[in-house]
Chain A
Amino acid sequence: METRRDVFQAIADPVRRDILNMLKHQQLNLNSIAGNFDISRPAISQHIKILTECGLVVISQQGRERYCYLQPKKMSEVNDWLEPFRKLWEERYTQLDALLDRMQVEGKTKKSKKKKS
């Protein structure tokens, strides 16, 4: 079993990515996080445990409740790491969108010219 705990591990799972998104704007207790998923509470707890071990989420005890909140500095590591690779594809595909538009316009022009002649 994988024992490494880093940002890469944290975002590898879709449930963990969803949890991180939920915590972007507010801190939440375990029950409210679990309420958003169809999977069992222990499974959610396990995901949160991994997120805390990766340093992305911190749990604080407030009265009887345990609240989860994000470590924004660690979160920016996720973006720093992924962003340039994603950006490369975004740039490529922006150019391909434009190329496909040009090709379709040219294709139509050629067809209409053929009709006229």
Chain B
Amino acid sequence: MKPGLLFDFIINKEDLTVTVRKEFAAPQKLVWDTFTKAYLLDQWWAPKPWISRTKSMEFKKGGRRLYAMVSPDGSQEGWAIQDYRDISPISGYKYFDAFSDKEGNINPTDPGSEWNLSFSEKNGVTTVDILIQCKTLEDMEATIKMGFKEGFTMTLGSLDELLATLK
């Protein structure tokens, strides 16, 4: 990640939130596009060598993004949905996030979580705050463990790739 730009990760069990804050050396409109346009989102959402593939995305209030994280050899797919609750271009949007099948039927064991993204720009640096809100402590742990498993599997792949470049 770029040096000098903030990356902060805070878990708050008192109010059952996870906050991810990041600064980008780019104008707010451009950063907004990378979060809200499927073809751009697919270029960074899945850590390499996994691939993010958006099947459908209707970026409007009441709309849905249905996408998969696909393993490099295509043998594994993890499907998820994001249901947009509210959108205020280019300052923020809210969605409900949950794992699903490829038809978009929500996984009944996933309690899901509410995501609130806000964008702001100062001196050419855009800050994105992601606030993930869970209903109960158990939901929060489940959400993190799922993200945790997802991240763990995928970052192992990235590590291999990194090691290969160092040879």
A92–B9 touching, CB < 8 Å: no
Whether B158 sits at the interface, judged by CB under 8 Å, is yes
Q: Main SS of the interface on chain B? A: mixed
Contact B40 A99 (CB under 8 A): yes
- Find chain B residues with CB under 8 A from A97 CB: 1-2, 5, 24-25
Q: How far is it, in angstroms, between the C-alpha of A97 and the C-alpha of B43 when the chains are bound? A: 11
Task: Give the number of chain B interface residues (Cβ < 8 Å).
Answer: 36
In this complex, how many residues of chain A approach chain B with their Cβ under 8 Å: the count is: 29
Q: Is the interface of A mostly helix, strand, loop or mixed?
A: helix
A99 to B43, alpha carbons, bound, how many Å? Answer: 8
Inter-subunit contact A12/B155 (CB<8 Å): no
Residues of the B chain whose Cβ atoms lie less than 8 Å from the Cβ of A62: none
Contact of A104 among B11, B26, B43, B158 (CB under 8 A): B26
Residue with the highest number of chain A CB atoms closer than 10 Å, among B34, B44, B45, B147: B44
Sample of 7 further A-B pairs with CB below 8 A, known A12-B11, A84-B148: A84-B152, A85-B9, A85-B144, A92-B45, A99-B44, A100-B24, A101-B26
